[in-house]
Amino acid sequence: MLAALIPLVAASLALGSYLNYAGVRHNYLELVGDRMSTVAERIANDAEVAMSMGVPLTSQDVMNRSLEREAAADPMVLSIDVVGSGGNVLFSSDPDRRGSEDRGDSAIAWRHFAPIDTAFGTNEGNVVVRASQQALDANISDVGRSILWLSVLAILGGVAIVSVAVMLSVRALWHRLTDRAATASGAMVPQEIRASIAAVDDEHRAVAERLGLVPQKTGA
Among 187, 197, 191, 186, residue whose Cα is nearest residue 176: 191
Give the whole-angstrom CA distance, residue 116 versus residue 47.
7
Instruction: Name the average pLDDT for the chain.
Output: 79
Among 94, 75, 64, 5, residue whose Cα is nearest residue 35: 75
Edge-to-edge strand ranges of the sheet holding 123-132: 89-92, 77-84, 123-132, 109-117
Q: Is the pLDDT of residue 4 over 80?
A: no
User: Which pLDDT value is given to residue 166?
Assistant: 74
- Per residue in 97-133, pLDDT tens? 998 888 877 667 788 889 999 888 889 999 999 988 8
- Per residue in 22-67, pLDDT tens? 777 788 888 888 888 999 999 999 999 999 998 999 899 888 998 9
Q: Please, are residues 81 and 104 in contact by the beta-carbon 8 Å criterion?
A: no
Q: Please, are residues 136 and 110 in contact by the beta-carbon 8 Å criterion?
A: yes
User: Which pLDDT value is given to residue 182?
Assistant: 67
**Identity of residue 70:** E
Q: Please, are residues 85 and 69 in contact by the beta-carbon 8 Å criterion?
A: no
- Per residue in 134-151, pLDDT tens? 888 887 777 777 777 777
Q: What is the SS3 assignment for 73?
A: coil
Give the whole-angstrom CA distance, residue 117 versus residue 204.
103
CA-based radius of gyration for the chain: 40
Q: Which range is least confidently modeled, 33-37, 166-170, 184-188?
A: 184-188
Higher pLDDT, 85 or 157: 85
Paired strand residues for 81: 92, 128
State how beta strands 89-92 and 109-117 pair.
unpaired
